[in-house]
Every structure is written in structure tokens, then in C-alpha cells.
Amino acid sequence: MYVHFDFSHSPDTRSYLRMATGHFDSVRVTHRYRVLVPAVAAAVAAPLAKAYAAVWPQRPTGLWPLRFSFYLVNCLLVAAAGACWFNSARHAGASAEGAALAMLALLTSRWALYAAGLPLTDSLYLLVFGLAYYAVRRGPTGNWALVAALLLGPLAKESFFLLLPWILWFGRKSLSWPKQALALSIGLIALVGVHYLVNASNGSSDNQSITNALEHFDNIAYSLGRAASFKGIGELLSIFGLFTLVVPLSILLEKHQSRISADYASLGTKEVFLLVVVALHMVLSGDLGRMGYLAAPVFSAALALTFTNWRRLLRI
């Protein structure tokens, strides 16, 4: 993915590469303010560029050191998100083996490969979702994760505000509302500062951001129509691949309703509403598969619980 990807048909990747070089003039407003990952990648690329030609003399210079920096940064962020999924599943009652298998299963998704291997910023948003769910799962001792989600969320993606009500309600036991408000305020101040600096650098205004946000509502009809088509259904089923079938098949194979309830008793309202948040991302973006992968924390917990009980399921 990292070496052979064709950038000619991916304006998103080209936008983030330009941002990392300090050029915002031709970057779409959708991406313009997601500066954290490009900024870190640019910082990592500075020392790497000096040694890159000696290590890979067969590759031309140019954007290769920067692409490699994105690769390193995004791999670390996806790995951190995976760690959140693993620990969330453990707090949901899964065994260590079941949680590890579920995490690895989700990392085989093509969307994980895209997030880790390409100069994109999806990895940071995956981490924000992972941190938020982990904090809610762990309770008061996971308050640091909720603080991190509230600080990083506004700069990770504009649609973070769809996740915010879920965090405020289900995260109140991990972090009180006044403390949540303080962390969110710092994140919003950082967002305002980024908007100001970026707009000043290229003469743009926040009116473009507002117009762009409103245009996303035009995607709803398209997304719903696509989800109802055979191609859309295939796209939804491909988010987690064949592992998508593991949980429903385990439920169908179980003959005793009480055992099903016991196996998944730790999953409930918070998971349902987080899936609703993910669904909103999907219909507003029009990108069903990529946004659907944000459900990874919930699906990982359900899959881990299924793997935890696999011995009993095989005896049915």
C-alpha cells in the first residue's frame, strides 16, 4: 500500500502531502484544518530526508521521505487505536486471547491498511473513537483517555461534533461535565487558532467551512440509496470482511437465549448509540465503508466476546 499506491486518483492524499509541505492554497476546505498528522509527519520527515537517499538510493528524492514519515506516524496511530480496542474488549469481559484475536481481525480490514499506509488523517480519528470508547468502558480510571479524545477530536475531524454528545453523556462517569468542558474548551481554542493561521496564510475564510459542512447534508439521499443497493450492501459487508459474519452466526448457532444474553450482557445502550453516531458519519459523508470502520471499537468488543466463548459454541 505504502510503496505502490497510485496517487493520481486520490486527491485526499495529495492534499495532505501539500499541507505537510506548508502549502494550503490548493487544498480542499474539507481537509484544510486537519493539520495534526501532516504537521507531525513533516517534523519526522526533516531528519529522515537526510538519511533517506543513502538507505534507498534506487528511489528518487522528493516526496518519498515525507510519505515514509506519514507511514510511520499513521502506523503508530493505528496501533494505538488497536490497543484501545483490545483493552476495551478486555473491560467488556473478553479474555486476553479473544481480545487479541478480535483486534488482529479488525486490523486485516482494507480500511486499516489505508489508514496506516497512506498519507491520510483517518488514523487519528480512529484513535479518537478508540480512546472515547475505552474511557467509557474503563470508568473513572480512564479519564485521561477521555481528556485526550476531547483535546484531539476537534482537530482530528470536523465531524467530531457528531461524537461529542455521546462522549458527554456516556463519559460523565469517567470524567465530570465541568472537566469535560475544560478539556473540550482547550481543544476548541486550538481549533480556532488553526483556523486563524490557515486562513491568514491563504486568504480564505470560515464561510467556506460552513458552506462545505452544509453541503454534506446533500449526501444523505445518495448514501441511503447506495446502502440499499447490492453494491452498497457488499461495501458494508466488506468493512470487516468475513469476520462480519462471526457474531451473527454465533448468535444463530446458540440454541439458548439465556446464553446469548449472558455472552453479550456487557454490551448495551452505549454501544447502540455509538453505532448510531457511526451511521450518521456514513450517511453524511457518502463514504459508507471508510466511515463504517469507525465502528471498530464496538465490533471488536462483540467479536472478542464471541471468540471468548468459542469452545462452547463449537459444542452445540
Cell numbers placing 190: 486550538
Per DSSP, the three-state class of 6 is: coil
φ, ψ (nearest 5 deg) of residue 184:
-65, -40
What average pLDDT does this structure show over 266-292? 93
Which residue is it, cell 497510485? Answer: 6
Q: Would residue 4 count as lying in a domain?
A: no
Q: Is residue 294 a contact partner of residue 278, using CB atoms and an 8 Å limit? A: yes
Between the alpha carbon of residue 50 and those of residues 9, 117, 121, 261, the distances in Å are 29, 22, 25, 58
What is residue 121's predicted lDDT score, i.e. its pLDDT? 95
Residue 310 lies in a domain: yes
Give the mean model confidence (pLDDT) for residues 126-152: 97
Average pLDDT over residues 14-20: 90
- The answer to the question of residue 220 being in a domain is yes
The model's confidence at residue 177, banded by pLDDT at 50, 70 and 90, is very high
What pLDDT is recorded for position 194?
A: 92
pLDDT at position 285 is: 87
Asked whether the predicted pLDDT for residue 316 surpasses 60, the reply is no
Residue 1 counted as domain residue? no
Does residue 231 sit within a domain? Answer: yes
Question: Band of the pLDDT at 212, cuts 50, 70, 90?
Answer: low
Number of domains in the chain: 1
pTM: 0.92
The average pLDDT across 233-247 equals 89
Residue 2 lies in a domain: no
- Domain holding 252, by residue range, is 9-314
pLDDT band, residue 101 (cuts 50/70/90): very high
Amino acid of residue 99: A
3 domain-assigned: no
Provide the 10 A C-beta neighbour count for residue 230: 7
Per-residue pLDDT of 46-72, as tens digits, reads 888 777 777 777 665 667 788 889 999
